[in-house]
Amino acid sequence: MENIQNLIKRLRKELARHNALYYDKNEPEISDGEYDALVKELERLEQEYPLFASSKSPTKKVSGYASSSFKPIKHAVPMLSLDNTYSRDEAASWYERTVKKFNNSNLEFVIEPKIDGVSASLTYLDGVLIVGATRGDGETGEDITENIKTIQDIPHKLKIENPPSFFELRGEVYIDKSDFKKLNEKISYSDGQKFANPRNAASGSLRQKNPQITSERKLRFFVHSFGKIEGKHFEKQSEFLKYCQNCGFKLQSNFRICNSFGELSKFMDIMLEKRDLLNYEIDGLVIKVNSLKLQNELGSTNKSPRWAVAFKFPSKQATTKLIKIRSQVGRTGIITPSAILEPAPLSGVIISHATLHNFEEIERLNVNEGDIVLIERAGDVIPKIVKVVRKESESFFKPPKNCPSCGSEVVKENEKEVAYRCINPECPAQFRRHLIHFVSRNAMDIDGFGESVVDQLLEKKKLHKLSDIYRLSYNDFIELEFFKDRKANNLIKAIAESKKRPLSKLIFALGIRHIGEKVSEIVAKRFKTMKALFEVSLEDFSKVSEIGEVLALSLREFFENATARHVIEDLVLNGVNMTEPETSKKGSQFEGRAFVLTGELEKYSREKVSEIIKSLGGKVTSSVSKKTDYVLAGANAGSKLEKAKELDIKIIDEAEFEKLINI
Ligand code: IVH
């Protein structure tokens, strides 16, 4: 057996390495849970063998450190970490212990999201922002003042009269999931190294030597605690937060004041459910004693306060073995690799697949079948591979030479392109994806025509070209699995209905390379009929302001291609609409805009408002999502308003609505 002293030394060294990977390189190899398990193991050994204990051990101090690339800033009050709990039972024991200490079963707690970002400390002297610093090792942080000043959520001057003479706030710098996606798209466009998750993006952006880069990164800030304050006294954490709001900081609405563990537990359920709907990453919740006097009485250890605890959500990262890399053929012939994994539990579900994006990504990750990989589910349903943690194979996986569906040669059309493609127009895998896209909701929207229907019809050799969809009969459907009379009739009706879709939907449904929904709409509105599109020159496509060279070329190539024309002519023969309906100028003000109405409206009835919106080309939907453009909120609005705030959707009242419609 390994000598105990060596084991302790090895664990400390291992923890220091993981610390550097997480805080300095933004490239963790293990999840927070796995890190905490190592700390717990070390703690157990140090307690059992006090001879080998040390005040410098990672069990005794805040993890992280200040890099020498920035000026050091000594914190007026140390910036601590939080103790983590990983189950409701563990959180309940912390709660019971705390309540018992004060013999007060009615103690007030605040519970709020634990945002997965980077902690920062802001110091205001007489209301003016003087210093911004990272946490560093808890005692000394890095001077990132100029970068902090570029964050829009952070006021340079507190918007309050008689501000405290010394006001040191702590909070989390983070990036919204949607901005993170856009940032990575931008980075990959310029051939840069993408960030693995929003936390890494926030950390990397905050610790830039050039504040101009930070300013372009759409960072946000959320206040959660404070350091030293002079010239102002608060009774409660909730009072402090409200004061920060008055000073000009944004508060997020997801927090509760609770008087029992039952209430805390209910909020845990709500947030576990809501986690993926939020536009920012949270890795758990933080429970805090609300009274600052009692917080003071409880005090802190060297590492963390006793008045707060983190309730960590199931990790979004795990390590597992990559068993196989599968190559799939898409609608436009692009071959996309995906990973089949040894099943591993991740945020409450068993994961056995991960995306790999493209073959360049495989080369960048230097990954191959058999390797042990770190996977992460960051906002997306399908996890991705973050990195290889143990290389078990030679080199990286190479693109296939032949199409896995039809066996034709796979080509890379030009060196600039990342994608490998099967260029056989009759490739069955491409045709299958094409059909699935054509009938999908945002295209021809044929309700009930799912993947399994496509697969069964292909199997029965009923579909050879797109227009065959319009030749299907009741008898073709009734023999499919799970089809009865009503379902077959409904599908026939849905197919007939789809013939009336506007030209814009048909253009999108045809699956022209690079042409998404928005461009399809622009093209349809501009050229009005399919007949006209057959005649449009490359130059005329390029003249449309939203259409660049690549799109224009793709459109022209498609509409002059004999096979494509043949498909379209066949659709015409089957009665599919080939024109875009006119929208009058007045009637198109809200074209494509989605409204949600909530709360009690004073001046107008909901019916009236809906009528106005529809007459101006907009639509009214019942629930708030990322696709909502406006939420019209009246008095006593509830959860829809909350959700709109979270998703950063424009909220208007009746007066603003009147302005929009020019009343
Ligand atoms: S309270 C420890 N509240 O989590 C001092 N921290 O893992 C009191 N964090 O360093 C911190 N969300 O940067 C607090 N709602 C929240 C938080 C939060 C994120 C961060 C914080 C801390 C880290 C500990």
Ramachandran category for residue 127: left, alpha or beta (phi over 0 → left; psi -120 to 50 → alpha): left
Residue 418, pLDDT score? 77
**Lowest pLDDT segment from 120-124, 170-174, 213-217, 483-487:** 213-217
CA distances from 581 to 2, 259, 413, 578 (A): 78, 59, 37, 10
**Residue 184, number of CB atoms within 10 A of its CB:** 18
The response to whether residue 82 sits with its C-beta less than 6 Å from ligand 1 reads: yes
Q: Report CA(81)–ligand 1 centroid distance (Å).
A: 7
Which amino acids are annotated catalytic? 114
- Per-residue confidence band for 129, with pLDDT thresholds at 50, 70 and 90: very high
Closest to 247 measured CA to CA, from 121, 158, 123: 158
* Per-residue model confidence (pLDDT) at position 380: 56
C-alpha count within 13 angstroms, C-beta hemisphere, residue 85: 18
Q: How far is the CA of 281 from the centre of ligand 1 (A)?
A: 14
Q: What is the pLDDT of residues 219-272, one digit of tens each?
A: 999 999 999 999 999 999 999 999 999 999 988 788 999 999 999 999 999 999
- Cα of 290 vs centre of ligand 1, distance in Å, is 15
What is the predicted pLDDT for the residue at 435?
Answer: 96
Mean pLDDT value of segment 643-663: 85
Question: What's the pLDDT score for residue 172?
Answer: 96
Strand partners, 226: 169
Distance from C-alpha of 548 to C-alpha of 531, rounded to nearest angstrom: 22
CA of 241 to the centre of ligand 1 (A): 14
Residue 82 CA, ligand 1 centroid: distance in Å: 6
> What's the rounded mean pLDDT across residues 449-455?
94
Contact 399, 419 (CB under 8 A): no
* CB of 205 closer than 6 angstroms to any ligand 1 atom: no
**Dihedral sign of CA atoms 499, 504, 508, 513 in order:** positive
Query: Is residue 512 in contact with ligand 1, taking CB distance under 6 Å?
Result: no
Q: How far is CA 120 from the centre of its chain?
A: 22
Q: Is the CB of 199 inside a 6 Å radius of any atom of ligand 1?
A: no
Least confident of 74-83, 330-339, 374-383: 374-383
pLDDT value at residue 2: 63
pLDDT digits (tens, 9 = 90+) for 567-618: 999 999 999 999 999 765 556 778 778 899 998 888 888 888 888 888 887 8
What is the rounded distance in angstroms from the CA atom of residue 198 to the CA atom of residue 174? 7
The 3 state secondary structure assigned to 486-533 is HHHHHHHHHHHHHCCCCHHHHHHHCCCCCCCHHHHHHHHHHHCEHHHH
Q: What is the percent of the chain where pLDDT is above 90?
A: 59
> Worst-scoring range by mean pLDDT, 19-23, 192-196, 424-428, 529-533?
192-196
CA 288 to ligand 1 centroid distance, Å: 10
Task: Please state at what angle helix 32-48 crosses helix 4-23, rounded to 10 degrees.
Answer: 150
**Six-digit token pair at 645?**
């705030």
Q: Is the pLDDT of residue 127 over 90?
A: yes
Confidence of residue 631 (pLDDT cuts 50, 70, 90): very high
pLDDT, position 411: 92
Residue 171 CA, closest ligand 1 atom number:
13
Condensed to tens digits (0 to 9), the pLDDT of residues 390-428 reads: 999 989 999 999 999 999 999 987 777 778 999 898 899
Other beta carbons less than 10 A from residue 60's beta carbon: 14
Instruction: Tell me which of 27-41, 110-124, 529-543, 580-594 is least confident.
Output: 580-594
| pLDDT band with cut points at 50, 70 and 90 for residue 157 | very high
User: Residue 286: CB within 6 Å of ligand 1?
Assistant: yes
Percent of the chain with pLDDT over 70: 96
Answer yes or no: is the C-beta of 116 below 6 A from any ligand 1 atom. Answer: no
Residue 86's alpha-carbon distances to 93, 105, 311, 357, in angstroms, are 12, 23, 6, 32
Q: What is the DSSP string of 14-75?
A: HHHHHHHHHHTSS--SS-HHHHHHHHHHHHHHHHH-GGG--TTSTTTS-S----TTS-EEE-
Cα end-to-end span (Å), the chain: 83
Residue closest via CA to ligand 1's atom 23 equals 81
Which residues, at least 6 apart from 635, have a Cβ–Cβ distance to it below 8 Å?
A: 599, 600, 602
CB neighbours of residue 506 within 10 Å: 24
Q: Name the residue at shortest CA distance from atom 8 of ligand 1.
A: 225
* Band of residue 138 on the pLDDT scale cut at 50, 70, 90: very high
What pLDDT was estimated at residue 67?
Answer: 63
80 Cβ below 6 A of ligand 1? yes
Q: Whose CA is nearest to atom 21 of ligand 1?
A: 119
Side chain identity at residue 201, one-letter code: A
Q: How far is CA 558 from the centre of its chain?
A: 34
Task: Please report the atom of ligand 1 found closest to the CA of residue 118.
Answer: 13
User: What confidence score (pLDDT) does residue 142 get?
Assistant: 92
* Residues 32 and 84 sit within 8 Å (Cβ to Cβ): yes
Residue recorded with tokens 């007045």: 586
Q: Is residue 254 lining ligand 1, measured as CB closer than 6 Å?
A: no
- Confidence band (pLDDT; 50, 70, 90) for 191? low
For ligand 1, atom 15, name the residue with the nearest CA.
114
CA of 288, closest atom in ligand 1: 1
Residues 468-518 have pLDDT tens digits of 999 999 999 999 998 999 999 999 999 999 999 999 999 999 999 889 888
Separation between Cα atoms, residue 137 and residue 1, nearest integer Å: 34
Residue nearest (by alpha carbon) to ligand 1 atom 11: 225
Give the pLDDT confidence of 55-114 residue by residue, as tens digits: 888 888 777 766 667 899 999 999 999 999 989 999 999 999 999 999 887 899 999 999
Instruction: Give 274-312 pLDDT, tens digit per residue.
Output: 887 888 999 999 999 999 999 999 999 989 999 999 999
Nearest CA to ligand 1 atom 22: 81
> How many A from CA of 313 to the centre of ligand 1?
14
Q: For residue 135, give the ligand 1 atom closest to its CA.
A: 10
Q: Within 13 Å and on the Cβ side, how many CA atoms surround 209?
A: 4
Determine whether the shortest distance from the Cβ of 422 to ligand 1 is under 6 A.
no
190 band by pLDDT with thresholds 50, 70 and 90 = low
Residue 115, ligand 1, Cβ within 6 A: yes
Whether 224 lines ligand 1, by a CB cut-off of 6 Å, is yes
Q: Compute, in angstroms, the gap from residue 311 CA to the centroid of ligand 1.
A: 11
Q: What 3-state class would DSSP assign to 587? A: helix
Q: What is the mean pLDDT of residues 337-347?
A: 90
